[in-house]
Amino acid sequence: MNSYPKKNQQPDQELVLRAQKGDKLAFDLLVIKYQHKIIQVVNRYVKDINEAQDVTQETFIKAYRAIGSFRGKSTFYTWLYSIAINTAKNNLVSRSRRHFDCQIEIEVAETCGNIPQLREMETPETALLNQEILATIKKTIDELPEEMRVAIILCEFNGLSYEEIAHAMNCPIGTVRSRIFRAREALDSALTPLLTSGDFL
């Protein structure tokens, strides 16, 4: 009675070893076994179901390509989970950066619209200043430390809450607040000389 293996209970170690030897069917069995768990993990970060499926597929592609480096120091699922988390975070930051690039001109325009000196003057000088503001914002954000840069982009240009950012960056909300505060300080310091220039007062 004990000689019969339980259904769907092939050990991961066995499937991994077979996959490392080039057995694609063995890896397919691992995909079938864990695909639902991985898409649930990805969904914590990527809310769009179609994009979550793409990220899940990318996770398994990365895992397949890296299967030869798996040494069994952790369980296969733990290893796969870490790949999924990193892939989802990279996707989130990438989408945020694209959104940032598309939205920053709108944000600058709205900011300038709230400054009377700029709103009232339709001159080549004003247009030049707007370009300088845009370039300064991009340059300042690009030069921020990575964790501050990601936090401010997710907050200001992707509309994520502090709680969502904390979850995505795997850190306390207080840390997120601190990173965003320091990023805003850096932006204020960079923009203040432009916005208080005597030529535009």
Residues 124 and 196 in one domain: yes
**6 belongs to a structural domain:** no
Tell me the CATH number at 178: 1.10.10.10
Domain shared by 125 and 194, yes or no = yes
Residue range(s) defining the domain that contains residue 130? 115-200
What is the C-alpha radius of gyration for the chain, rounded to an integer number of angstroms? 24
The C-alpha torsion from 116 through 120 and 124 to 126, rounded to 10°, is 10
What is the structure's pLDDT at 65? 94
Model confidence pLDDT, tens digit, residues 186-197? 988 888 887 765
Answer yes or no: do 70 and 125 share one domain.
Answer: no
pLDDT tens digits, 62-105: 999 999 999 888 899 989 988 998 888 878 777 665 555 545 54
Nearest residue to 137 (alpha-carbon basis) of 199, 188, 201, 94: 188
SS (H, E, C) 114-178: CCHHHHCCCCHHHHHHHHHHHHHHHHHHHHCCHHHHHHHHHHHCCCCCHHHHHHHHCCCHHHHHH
Q: List C-alpha distances in Å: 198 to 125, 192, 194.
A: 13, 12, 9
Query: Are 65 and 23 members of one domain?
Result: yes
81 lies in the same domain as 119: no
Q: Domain count for the chain, please give it.
A: 2
pLDDT in tens, the chain (201 residues): 444 344 445 789 999 999 999 999 999 999 999 999 999 888 877 778 888 899 999 999 999 999 999 988 889 998 998 899 888 887 877 766 555 554 554 444 444 444 444 444 455 555 566 677 778 888 888 888 888 888 888 787 767 788 888 877 778 999 999 999 999 899 888 888 877 654 444
- Cβ burial of 45 (10 Å; 0-12, 13-18, 19+) is buried
Model's pTM, two decimal places? Answer: 0.54
For residue 140, tell me if it sits in a domain. Answer: yes
Q: What is the CATH number of the domain that holds 30?
A: 1.10.1740.10
What are the helix and strand counts (H, E) for the chain? 9, 0
Question: Is position 160 within any domain?
Answer: yes
Q: Which of 47, 72, 88 represents a domain boundary (last residue)?
A: 88
**120 and 170 together in one domain:** yes
In a domain, 43, yes or no: yes
- As a dihedral over the C-alpha atoms of residue 84, residue 87, residue 89, residue 92, rounded to 10 degrees, the angle is -120
